[in-house]
Amino acid sequence: MILSNTCSNPRNECEKVSVTNVIVIDDHDLIRMGICRILQDVPGIQCIGQGASGEEALKLVRRLEPDIVIMDIRMPGMGGLVATQRILATHPKVKVIVVSAFDELYPDKLLKAGASGYITKNTDSAEVATAIQTVLANRVFVSPVIAQKIVTNELNGKAGSPLESLSRRELQIALMITSGHRIAEIAGVLNVSPKTINSYKYRICEKLKVNNDVELTLAAVKYGLVNPEEIV
């Protein structure tokens, strides 16, 4: 966060106004630009950079040192979940707000990865502003739409999704597998051996009661982890 003068008064009586610097990471150009356009209408907030992958997010954070990263989850390469962890490991003061099209993608998994907020891609400018103000105050923000759904499910006694049984790393790998990444590619991104990834994959399939990548993808669609429109 930086402070800027609001006038050029020669007596130097200008009011100091804080400016929150934000970068937006999403692999869909229209969504990314749309979020940046929304930010233009929020006083005291400026979008200083955009990226289309987790790898670009890491580079932008190192170069621009933003206050906030608005991060998509499902992207090419390492994806938003891994990028969030790596950003916070080296830049703990940065706040990450996860943005996703899927209101069934469990925010507890994302928040445990270190994210400070969770909003959907249907969020309006007022909610974006509230989310940013909330996380800057060191509090967690979850979109009311998501919060209401969580409470409703609990009150109705609905059984949780089997995705809830996945560990944070298992969820990362499941996201990458259903995005079409090969085992060797995932191993390279996560800096582990292909054998380790295969072990994770076995446990994922066992927990979700699936037998192969196709069934895993179908399960991911069923439980809201994957948007069926994005499957090739």
Of the listed ranges 39-43, 46-50, 98-102, the least confidently predicted one is 98-102
* Selected residue with higher pLDDT from 51 and 227: 51
Q: Does the residue 122 lie in any domain?
A: yes
227 pLDDT higher than 60: no
Query: pLDDT class for 46, splitting at 50, 70, 90?
Result: very high
Give pLDDT, residue 40.
Answer: 87
Average pLDDT of the segment spanning 142-154: 70
For residues 55 and 21, state if they share a domain: yes
Whether pTM > 0.85 for this model: the answer is: no
User: Distance between CA 228 and CA 231 in Å, rounded?
Assistant: 5
Residue 75 is part of a domain; what is its CATH number?
Answer: 3.40.50.2300
16 pLDDT higher than 80: no
Give pLDDT, residue 155.
Answer: 55
Burial, 21: exposed, middle or buried (Cβ in 10 Å; 0-12, 13-18, 19+)?
middle
Residue 174 is part of a domain; what is its CATH number?
Answer: 1.10.10.10
Domain that holds residue 183: 162-230
Long-range contacts of 32-40 (CB under 8 A, 24+ apart): 35/70, 35/99, 35/128, 38/124, 38/125, 38/128, 39/125, 39/128
Give pLDDT, residue 61.
Answer: 97
Calculate the average pLDDT of the chain: 81
Average pLDDT of the segment spanning 193-207: 93
* Selected residue with higher pLDDT from 122 and 21: 21
Examine the fold and report which residue of 152, 176, 193 is the final residue of a domain before the chain moves on.
152
Between helix 168-178 and helix 79-90 the angle, nearest 10°, is 140
Q: Does the residue 24 lie in any domain?
A: yes
Give pLDDT, residue 164.
Answer: 76
Give pLDDT, residue 114.
Answer: 81
Q: Does the residue 167 lie in any domain?
A: yes
142 pLDDT higher than 50: yes
Q: Does the residue 40 lie in any domain?
A: yes
Give pLDDT, residue 6.
Answer: 46
153 pLDDT higher than 90: no
Examine the fold and report which residue of 112, 128, 152 is the final residue of a domain before the chain moves on.
152
**How many structural domains are present in the chain?**
2
